[in-house]
A and B are shown apart, each in its own frame.
Chain A
Amino acid sequence: MNTFSMYVARESGLHKLYPLTKASLTLLLLIAGLTLPVNWAGYFLVLFVIFPLAIWGKVFKNFMRIVWSISLPFIISVIIIQSLFWGKGTPIFEFWILAPKIEGVIFATISVGRIILVMAGFILFAMTTRPDALMISLKQVGVPSSLAYIIVTTLQIVPRFVTKASTILDAQRSRGLETDGNLFVRSRAVVPIILPLVLGSLMEVEERAIAIEARGFNSNREETSLIEIPDTRAQFILRRIFMVLMILSIIARVAWQLST
């Protein structure tokens, strides 16, 4: 990945949507996933909202690959921990001190649905929205440019970290660091990779701050923009609907909480 962003260029209706429309949909999915008092809401929304959108955006294959590789470690660890540490319940089997409970597995599966929903929503958004377009649309609704810049560069942090980490990994390997082998050998390799990654990133921040400052980032003149991003009346209304749905979802949760 050398473009340093998750964005995948395609000609699709989803790509052409105004960035804030997609951002508010992502936010709606996140809030709905976390608050809806329906246990299987996460899976339902992934299947019937996010998947169709990913197909419409012509990114389904890449999308599935990324979602899968990011969420798999979560899924496994959540299921193991929840099933083993579930207090009272029906054990699936008993071995030594291990006794995973069915109730734990069910609970874990429900939580995983919510995690996948949040991650999938975010990844689909990042894959179909150009970071610069997002930055411009954020500024158009009055978000301060430094905050917009932070939001946009954060979106790109994951792919950037991955690329940097693999460079460091290669460099350390060529100096004889062992990275293959059993768990112990692998875990010993973590420090010489993480340390340069973190320190390097901190130093990078200073230089980048100088670079954007040198290009008038803190100028107090009225900013202009090179590209224009079209918004439509229909999308404006759609965003209002999303907002109402967010509030409804939160209200539903509060009501449910009070009634039980």
Chain B
Amino acid sequence: MAIIDLRNVTYKYPLTQESALKNINFQVNEGEFVAVIGPNGAGKSTLCYTVAGFVPHFFKGELSGTVEVAGADSSKSNLHEWVLNVGLAFQNPFNQISGAKYTVFEEIAFGLENIGVPRDEMIPRVNDAMKLTGISELADRSPYSLSGGQQQRVALTSILVMHPKVLVLDEPTSQMDPIGTREVFGVIRTLAEQGMTVIMAEHKVEWIANFADRVVALHEGQIIEDGKPQEALTSDVLAGKGFGISRYTSVARKAKETGLWKKDKLPVTLEEAVEGFAHV
């Protein structure tokens, strides 16, 4: 059953001429991990904000079509009710720190305080969430004393602790090193397997290929490709439009021109590339 259902969604930010999203039809099933890719300005963040309810409730502007998440219609809901179902973490971790809390532990508890979770329930929830994202040892540090990657984990944990049904992430690993990125993708994969629905805007195609269930490609506000990572990420539709393409795909595409790559499908990951070239 589709937990996210966008039908004919067109959206224009206030004071702009061009629509940021054009006639988007987008359904996501419960427990699916969908990666959204696209060049800068393609509408990735806008799509994230739409699912998270901030478009149009926070940004205003003109939205047509219907947005439904977990059976509720966005146009008939309030943002403060919407965020109980849909969690949002975005790129810049620095601005996601509330600024009103002294330690990481309290920072993560901020959301639970706001939605009235009792104290004896709050503490184990915060501990569990920190253990999940591997930041337990940061509990007593000041959130402002952390590195960018650590702050991004805190921002992610602060949303996870609220137990949303749908998790919307806008480039959540942009400031992380490869080890951090792998851990975070691993955590998100696990959560998706436990039934959480995940929408993630991301540039790192090799990670997407390894972890996501599905890839949606946005270009100039429209969905131009939607499918399994392996197929979507190697699709010819994406060529020449500024999409991030895996280096293994590029190599194999060149190799195919000279007849070196024999398979139909192009690889995205190192393993697929090695496997394909092994037959040469």
Contact = CB atoms under 8 A, between A and B. Distances in A.
A224 B112 contact: yes
B63 interface: no
A226 interface: yes
Given A215-B114, A223-B114, A210 B99 contact: no
A227 interface: yes
Contact of B95 (A131, A204, A213, A227): A204
Interface residues of A, number: 36
Contacts of A156: 99
Interface in B79-93: 79-80, 83-84, 87-90, 92
A94 interface: no
Contacts of B71: none
B122 interface: yes
Contact of A216 (B80, B96, B119, B145): B80
Interface stretch (B31-39, B102-110, B177-185): B102-110
Contacts of B122: 224, 226
B113 A225 contact: yes
Contacts of B113: 223-226
A224 B117 contact: yes
Contact of B106 (A204, A223, A227): A227
B115 A216 contact: yes
A227 B84 CA distance: 23
Contacts of A135: 100
Interface in A212-233: 212-227
Nearest to A4: B144
Most chain-B Cβ atoms within 10 A of its Cβ — which of A152, A204, A224? A224
A221 B102 contact: no
A162 B84 CA distance: 36
A207 interface: yes
Contact of A210 (B88, B110, B123): B88
A211 interface: yes
Contacts of A130: 102
Interface string A118-131: 00000000000011
B47 interface: no
Interface residues of B, number: 42
A132 B106 contact: yes
Nearest to A152: B100
B99 A214 contact: no
A2 interface: yes
Contacts of B116: 219, 221-224
Contact of A218 (B79, B87, B97, B162): B79
Nearest to B109: A226
B101 interface: yes
B249 interface: no
Contacts of A221: 114-116
B84 A216 contact: yes
Given A7-B102, A130-B102, A219 B115 contact: yes
Contact of B92 (A2, A4, A152, A207): A207
Contacts of A215: 83, 98, 110-111, 114, 158-159, 162
A69 interface: no
A61 interface: no
B255 to A, nearest CB: 42
Most chain-A Cβ atoms within 10 A of its Cβ — which of B92, B97, B113, B117? B113
21 contacts: A4-B144, A132-B100, A132-B102, A145-B114, A152-B99, A153-B100, A156-B99, A204-B95, A207-B90, A207-B96, A209-B58, A214-B159, A215-B110, A215-B111, A215-B114, A215-B159, A216-B80, A218-B79, A218-B80, A223-B114, A226-B119
Q: Which 10 A-B pairs have the closest CB atoms?
A: A215-B111, A207-B95, A221-B116, A216-B114, A211-B96, A216-B115, A4-B144, A218-B80, A226-B109, A214-B88
Interface of B: 52, 54, 58, 79-80, 83-84, 87-90, 92, 95-102, 105-106, 109-119, 122-123, 142, 144-145, 155, 158-159, 162
Interface of A: 2-5, 7, 130-132, 135, 145, 149, 152-153, 156, 204, 207-227
Given A3-B144, A208-B98, A223-B113, 5 more contacts: A2-B144, A208-B96, A213-B79, A213-B80, A217-B114
